[in-house]
Amino acid sequence: MRLLTAICLGTAVYVFVSLFGGQDGLWAASQLLVQRREINEQTSRIISLNKELSIEYAALKQDPGMIASYARKLGYVNDNEKLVKITGLPVRYSAIYDPGTVLKRQEIACIPEWICKLSGVAVSALTFMVLMLINALRPRER
């Protein structure tokens, strides 16, 4: 009975440590969830930027006015136009396409499996020794 109690308690400790801190435990799952959210946000930003660029590309292919607008931004003028530069005015916004930062896979922090198992075995052994000691110190009835 003492051995069975010790084994059950050790198994319960092992399961508890593995469930909350192990490689497939709740702590590791929460870290993976955070990484998943970051990747989804970055992906949605890139998709949005891709849509904007596709619209601008289609406009540049079909609209001569858009081509002229981009050429003026680069400093080009038509033959019948004159370039006048005015100083002192704030610079107009020019589109900067920022695809975001590179997301690298982060290592997931967790309690190694050997520590989970060792904690279960240690608790089993300690429980068994305590139960044996209690049994040895108990006065015997005749």
Segment 43-56, tens digit of pLDDT:
999 999 999 889 88
What is the CA 51 to chain-centroid distance, rounded? 25
Residue 120 has pLDDT above 90, yes or no: yes
Q: Where are the domains of the chain?
A: 2-137
64-96 confidence digits (pLDDT tens): 888 888 777 777 777 777 767 767 766 665 667
Neighbours of 120 (CB within 10 A): 21
| C-alpha to C-alpha distances, 129 to 15, 87, 133, nearest whole angstrom | 21, 88, 6
User: Residue 102, Cα to own-chain centre: how many angstroms?
Assistant: 12
| C-beta atoms surrounding 124 within 10 Å | 21
In the chain, which ranges are continuous DSSP H helix?
Answer: 2-21, 26-62, 64-73, 113-137
* Pure H helices in 74-141: 113-137
